[in-house]
Chain A
Amino acid sequence: MDRWIRRTVERHLPWNVHLDLTYRCNERCIHCYLDHEDYGEMTTLEIECVLRQLAEAGTLFLTLSGGEIFLRQDLFELIAYARRLLFDVSVKTNALLVDAEKARRLQELGVRGVQISIYSADPEVHDSITKVRGSLARSLAAIRLLQGQGLHVKIACPLMTHNLAAYRGVQALAEELRIPYILDLTITPKMDGGTSILSLRNPSQDLLPILQDPIFNPKSCDRDDVSQPSLATGATGSSSASGLESHAYDDIPCSAGHNSCYISPYGDVFPCVQMPVATGNVRRERFEEIWYHSNEMNRVRGVRESQLPVCSSCTIRSHCERCPGLAQMEGGDLLGAYERACELAELKARIAGVEDPVSALHVKNGRDAVSCKVPPLNVLPQASA
C-alpha cells in the first residue's frame, strides 16, 4: 500500500476525497466548527456529477460526512451511485438516525467503514456535548445494529474540557464493543475563522496523562510494565484524517493537495477540511481543472518541509504533528509555526526523553518551554474514567 500511496503523491492523483454532503445536523455539538444553516447545498444531480468527475480523476477512497449525512434524503441513492463508480466508501455519522433497515442498506451497498463520534461513556457528559438528550444511547444502539450487519465501525472521540476525564471510559467502551477508536486532541477553529470554540481546548499540560498512556505511547514508561495491547486498537490523531499513513508523506507537510482534498456541500474544493484555502468550486469548474490547475492548490502542493521558515530548523520536529491548515487558521501562515503544535511537541519530546526540548518557535521568540514542564512520571495524576 505504501508503494501505491507514494505513486499517488508523485503523480498528484486525488486518491482520497472527503466530501461533506450537508452541514445540517441533528446535534449541536459544542465544539463543532460548522455553520449548520443550509445555504444551498449541492443537489443529487450535482453530487453525482462530482462523483463521476472524481472517478475519472482516479479517486478511490471516498469519505462521506457532514453535518449529519442521514439528513440527506438522497443519501442511499448517492452511496449506491458511488459504489457503482467503484469507490471505496466510508461514512461519518452520529448514527442517531440509523435503524435496522439503514444498517442493512449500508451493508448491502458495501460501505466499508462507519465512524461515529462518542464523547463519553457517561450519557450525561456525552449528551451535554451533543445537546441532544438520549443521543449516547441512540448512537450506541446504532453501533450494535451496524456491527450486527458486519459493518466495520470506529469510534472517534474529540477531547475537550468537558470530556477530558472521559477518555478511559471511551476506551473501555470501545473494548467492550471490540471496535477501534481514535482520540482527537485537536479542537479546531470554526470554518468561518471564528475562534470562540477554542476555549473548549484542553490546556496542553492537561493532556499529559493521555500522551503518556502506554496504549498510545509504549515508550512513555518501562517496557516491562506495558500492558498487552487492547483488543480495541486505540490511537490519538485527527478524527477528520483519512487514516492512510505512509512514508510517502515524509518530505511534505501532509497529504492535502498531494493525493487528498475536501469538497464542501456547496462545491467548494479545499486541500483539506482543516485548511481554509479556497481553490475553486465544482459548480463552476470541472474537478480536475481545479485539482491540477488552481493556483492555490498548486501553491499548497509546492510546499516542502525544508521550506518551512521556522519549523524546518526545529530540533523537535519529529515529535510534532504540525497541521498546515491549523498553521493557517491559528498562526495566519500556511508555512508558519503555531503555539499549540509547539506546546504538544515539547510535551511529547520530553515524554520521549529529550532533555529540555524547546521548539524553534519558542527559541525564536526567546521563550523557554516553561508552560510545558513535565513532572516525573510517578507523580502524574491519573485520569478518571
Chain B
Amino acid sequence: MIESPARNPSLAWREVDGEIVIISPEDSQVHELNETASLIWKYADGIRSCDEIAAELAAEFDVALEAARADAAELIEALEEKRLLLVAAPVAG
C-alpha cells in the first residue's frame, strides 16, 4: 500500500525563507525544519505518495532517486513520530 503523508491539521506553521517553523498547540513545542524536511513538508499534501515526494527531492537537489528515497523515508518517519505528519493510505479510485 502506497502511503501519502499529510500535514497534521492541528498544527500552526509558517514558511520563512524556505524553511518551515511549526507550533503544536498540544504541547507548545516549536519544530524547526531544515531545508530538506521543509520541502517534504510542503509536498506532504495527503495526495502525493512517499515515492512521489522522493522524486521531487531528487529533482530539487539533483541527487539520485534512491538516495532521495532513503532520505525522504527517514525524514517522513521522523516527522510522523513527532505527529507532525500523518501517514495514511490514499483513497482508492
Q: Which residues on A are within 8 Å of B, measured CB to CB? A: 1, 3-4, 7-8, 11, 13, 15, 58-61, 83, 86-89, 110-113, 150, 152
Contacts and interface: CB of A to CB of B under 8 A. Distances in A.
A60 B12 contact: yes
A88 B12 contact: yes
B23 A60 contact: yes
Given A3-B32, A110-B25, A112-B28, A58 B14 contact: yes
Contacts of B26: 150
Contacts of B28: 112-113, 152
Contacts of B13: 60, 86
Contacts of A150: 26
Given A4-B21, A60-B23, A112-B23, A89 B32 contact: no
Nearest to B11: A86
Interface of B: 10-14, 16-17, 21, 23, 25-26, 28, 30, 32
Contacts of B11: 86
Contact of A88 (B16, B17, B25): B25
Contacts of A88: 12, 23, 25
B32 A112 contact: no
Contacts of B30: 1, 4
A4 B16 contact: yes
A111 B14 contact: no
B16 A8 contact: yes
Contact of B25 (A4, A8, A112): A112
A58 B12 contact: no
A54 to B, nearest CB: 11
Nearest to B26: A150
Contact of A86 (B12, B16, B17, B32): B12
Residue from B10, B14, B16, B17 with most neighbouring chain A CB atoms (10 Å) = B14
Contacts of A15: 14
A193 B20 CA distance: 41
A15 B26 CA distance: 20
